[in-house]
Structure 1
Amino acid sequence: MVKTSFWGITKPALRYNNSVPASIKDMPVPATVTLFLKEERGKIETAARPGDSVKTGERLFSSENHDHYVVSTVTGTIVDISRYTDAYGQVYDAIKIHSQDEEIWDGEFNKEETLKSAINFLESLPGGFSFRIFSNPAVSIDTIVICGVDEDLLVTTRQQIVKSEASNINAGIEILRKITGVKNIILAVPETLSSEARGMGAKVKTVSPLYPHALPPILVKDIVKRVVPAGKRPEEVGVSVISVESVAGLGSAFGTGKIPVTKLLTVIDKGGSISNIRCRIGTPIGDVLAVCHISLDEMDRLILGGPMRGVSTYSKELPVEPNTDAILVQNKGEGLVVKDHPCINCGACVRVCPAGIQVNLLGRYIEFGRYEEAGNYDLFSCIECGLCAYVCIARRPLLQFIITAKHELQVSKHFILV
C-alpha cells in the first residue's frame, strides 16, 4: 500500500492554516522606528530633516515638489535619513525616528469620507493598499474583492482581522463603496470564517483551503470568473483585490479620526508555534522577536513572509512595513538548501504548476541569463506560488529564478510583452 504521495501521480495537498491564535499580543511603542519612503525621480532632498520633531499620524513627504509620503507611527524626533536600496534596486529614504514617552497626534487628517482624503492621508495603511488606482481614468473597476484569506501557509494575519475587527471591516466596506462608487464588493474568506463574515455589508464567498487559491490571479478566476492576462494586474480586468486589513484600517481611520499606525503580523518560531503580534509600523524585526522570546543563532534563517513565498532577510534591524504579514524563523539546517544542480527533467514542476507553465524550460533559460527568451515562454504567466521549487528534486531555486527574470525584463527598456 502506498502511504506517501508520489509527485508524478498527484499534486501536493498543501492546506492553509485555519487555526487562528485566540488572542493578539500588543507591543509597546518601540524606542525607534524606521520608515521607508520611496525616492522620487528629480528629488533633490527629502522635505523632512534630521532634528525635526514629528507627531503620530503626521505625513512625511518625499520632497516639497512630490506628493508621495509616509506616515509617522510615533511621536518623536527624526535622528537620521539615509538611503536604502532593496534587493531589486528600488531606492528609498530610510527615515529613523526616536520616539518619546508622550504621544501627540497630528490633527491634519480630514475625516471627510472622500477618495481624495483616502489618497491624501491613507497611503500607508496596514495591508499596503494604495487608493490611487481608483483615481486613474484609464482603469475601470467594477468589482472589489476583499481578501480575508492569508496568501501563504502558516500565516493567520488576515483571518485574525476578520475575527477581531468586524465593526471596522463593516464600516470600511461602506466607506469603500461610497468613495469608489463600486457597488459589487465581495468578501473572500475561508469556510471556517464564513459565519463571522456574514452581515459585514458585502457578498461572502469562500475560498478553497488548498494552496495557492488565495493568490489574487486564482482568487479572481475562482470568485469573479475572470482571467487575469499574463503580466497584468487584476485591475486590468476590472477587479481590485484589497487586503481585509486595509479595509479595516479605512473604517478605523474615518471612525476615530486617527490614521492607523499599527500592523498585525503572524510570528512563527523555530518550533512552529504561531502567535499574532500587533506593533507600530517601522518597529525593528529584532524587537518583535524579543517580545516573542525568539533568539537568533548563527546561520538561522529569518524570513519575511510565509514558507512558500517569503523572502530571507539579512538583518533583524529591518523594520516591519505596512505589507509585512509574517515573520518566520527557521533553525540552521531545517530549511531546504537550494542547489546548483542541473535539471533532471523529471517534470514535477510542470505537473504542479497552476498556470501550466513549462517551468523546467524557463529555469534553463533564466539560469544562463537568457531572460528575453524566457519571456517568450510564459514567464509572465507565473503567479509566484513557489510550488515548482517545493517539488523540485534537484532543489533548484526556480521561484527565485523567475522573480529575477521578471525584474530584469521589466526594467529593460527594449523588452515588450506581447
Structure 2
Amino acid sequence: MMMMMSVTTSLPYPFQILLVFIITLASITLLGRMLSRPTKTKDRSRQLPPGPRGWPILGNLPELIMARPKYKYFHLAMKELQTEIACFNFAGVHAITINSDVIAREAFKERDADFADRPHLFSMQTIGDNFKSMGISSYGEQFMKMKRVITTEIMSAKTLNMLVAARTIEADNLIAHVHSMYQRSETIDLRELSRAYGYAVTMTMLFGRRNITKENVSSDDGRLGKAQKDHLEAIFNTLNCLPSFSHADYLERWFKGWNIDGQEEMVKLNCNLVRSYNNPIIDERVKLWREKGGKASVEDWIDTFITLKDENGNYLVTPDELKAQCVEFCIAAIDNPANNMEWTLAEMLKNPEILSKALKELDVVVGKKRLVQESDIPNLNYLKACCRETFRIHPSAHFVPPHVARQDTTLGGYFIPKGSHIHICRSN
C-alpha cells in the first residue's frame, strides 16, 4: 500500500487522478462481479431466470449498446445459457426475454392480468398523449374503456363490412398504379408500393379519404401526393421511436429530459407532424357531429368513435382520446401488412415452385376474368398459409411490444420482480 502511494505521488497530478480512477473502477468491477454471481437456492420460485453476468450499476447495458443487431445479442445469450427464459439487467431494469410458446401462453393468456402494464417511457407517453390510447396504456379504467370500444365497435364485423367498398377502391388503385408503371417501363419499388397501399387503406378506413389535406389530390394512377408521403414518413419515424431495446429507454429514469441519443426530440418532432395532418380532420368531424347535427350515416372509424355514447347518453370518447388513438392506429396498421406483402412476394420470387402453386390456386378460385375480392380470401388457403409463414420467418419486429409485471410474480417457475419488462420473441 505504501509503495503504491509513493508511486502515485511521484507521478504528475493528472496521471495521479487517472490512476486512482482506474484502480477504483477495477475495485468496483471486481466487487460487482463477485456480488453478481448467481446464488444457489433450492427455492426456484424466488430465483430470477438465468442471465449473463453484468457490470456494476449498468448491468448488461454496455453489451446491449455495442450489439448489432440487438435481437441477435439476446438470441446468442439465451443459446449459450441453454434457456427459453432469461433475465437481463439494464441499469436496474429487469428485461425478461421469452423464447417459448408455452411460457408466452402462460404470460399473456393464463396470467395476462399480471403482465398487462406497459413501460412508462417518454416515447410511449408522447405517442399516446399521456397514455390515452389502448395499446400504450397500462391496465386500468382507460385501457379497459378503449379496448371495449375497439373490440366491440371499431373491429366488429358490422364496421369492417361497412368499409369493404373503401378497401376495394384502394386495391383497385394499387392495380392501376402498378399497371401505369408497367406501361412506362418503370422499376417497381416493392417496399414503397406496399407502404403506400397500407397507408391509403388506413387513411380511408380512419378518415374516409386518402387525401389528408384538401389541397393535396392524388394522381389518377393511385400514387401518393407530396403531403401524403410526408405524413407516411412521419408515421414510420414515430414507429421507430417505440421501445426497441434502446439504451435511452433504460437510462431515461436517471436522465429524463436530457434527450439521450436525440430520441426525445425525435419522437416529439415526428409525433407532432403526424398530428398536424390528423387533428384538423378530427376537429372538423367532431364539430360536424357534435355541433352541427352530423351526417346521414356513419361512414368511417372516426365517425364511429365520435358518435358512441355511454349508458347516460354522454359521448364515450373525448376528442383527445380519439386523436391519440388515431396516431396509434397509424403506426400499427401500416407497417405489418406492408412488411408481410414485401417479404411474401420476395420469398415467392426466390422459390418459383411456391409462386407457381399460389398462381394455380388463384386461377382455380378466382379465374382470369376478374380481380380478387375480399370474399375470395376464405378459399385461398395456400396463399393464406404463405402469408402466415412470412409473419413467422420475417416479423416486422423480432420482439412484441414490451409488457410490464404489475406485481411480484412467477413465470416459467422463476421469480419475476414487479416492474420487470417482458419481451416475447417472435422468431428464432
Confirm or deny a common fold (TM above 0.5): no
Short-chain TM bin: under 0.3
Q: Flag the structure with larger Rg.
A: 2
TM-score of the two chains, using structure 1 as the length reference: 0.25
- Would you tell me which structure has more helix in proportion to its own residues? 2
TM-score of the two chains, using structure 2 as the length reference: 0.24
